[in-house]
Amino acid sequence: MSSDIVARIRAIRDSLPPDVDVLAAAKTRTADEVRAAAEAGIEMVGHNYVREAAAMREALEDAPPLRWHLIGHLQRNKARKAVEIFDEIETIDSERLARAVDRHCAGIGKVMPVLVEINSGREPNKSGVLPENARALIETISVLEHIRVTGLMTMGPWTEDAESLRPCFKVTREVYDDLLAHPIARVEMSRLSMGMSDSWRVAVEEGANRVRIGTGIFGPREAK
């Protein structure tokens, strides 16, 4: 298993521009799999769930250092625990959630880097702010003292056709570029997190500088 993970990570990095970060998406994965990725040079791991991430992080205390990212939807009632576990939250999509994260970070003296999640596919049942509302949200939360907006993240609709996600990545990049061209005080647009195992190539073509890869690193999930 470990040698397969090493080979997959090497192949991905050989295919990526040097300025693109690789985040290992660890939902449903074991601590041993994530340990192998860390030993192969992965420095960021993303998880969708707070409780599972807490257990995994504890199990990997003796692994090479990792930065832990929340890449799933965060419920406000779990914000307190999330700010203790994660080093970055990539799924801020409302003022109420941002204020909850800010408040809990203030309680532990922490400043949390966050990405604003864009609902680029305009899916009514998905989290994320609509592209045209992103600037207003970022302006509103930029004054919070214990979070720092450092970029944008998008998922796009589930599909087996990566090319069909190009418009979603493109519109997110347009929002990102507009924020770069017209800066907001205390906001640093430096991370554009787009693309997963089946779509990262298209995402990078559209400007992603962070990709979130699970199956592409760990291999297919075992049937249970």
Torsion, CA 7, CA 12, CA 16, CA 18, rounded to 10: -50
Residue by residue, what is the 3-state secondary structure of 82-133?
HHHHCCEEEEECCHHHHHHHHHHHHHHCCCEEEEEEECCCCCCCCCCECHHH
Say which CATH architecture domain 2-217 belongs to.
Answer: Alpha-Beta Barrel (3.20)
DSSP labels for the chain? -HHHHHHHHHHHHHHS-TT-EEEEE-TT--HHHHHHHHHTT--EEEES-HHHHHHHHHHTTTSSP-EEEE-S---GGGHHHHHHH-SEEEEE-SHHHHHHHHHHHHHHT--EEEEEEE-TT--TTS-SB-GGGHHHHHHHHTT-TTEEEEEEEE-----S-GGGGHHHHHHHHHHHHHHHHS--TT----EEE---TTTHHHHHHTT-SEEEESHHHH-SPPP-
What is the rounded CA–CA span in Å between residue 68 and residue 65? 10
pLDDT in tens, 183-215: 999 999 999 999 999 999 999 999 999 999 999
β-pair partners for 23: 44, 212
- 4 vs 143: CA distance, rounded Å: 45
Q: What's the pLDDT at 2?
A: 84
Quote the CA–CA distance of 122 and 89 in Å, as a whole number.
21
What ranges do the domains of the chain cover?
Answer: 2-217
Confidence (pLDDT) at 224: 42
Torsion 206-210-215-216 (CA) sign: positive
User: Cβ of 95: how many Cβ atoms within 10 Å?
Assistant: 14
For residues 124 and 137, give the distance between their C-alpha atoms in angstroms, rounded to a whole number. Answer: 18
Low-confidence ranges of the chain (pLDDT < 50): 223-224
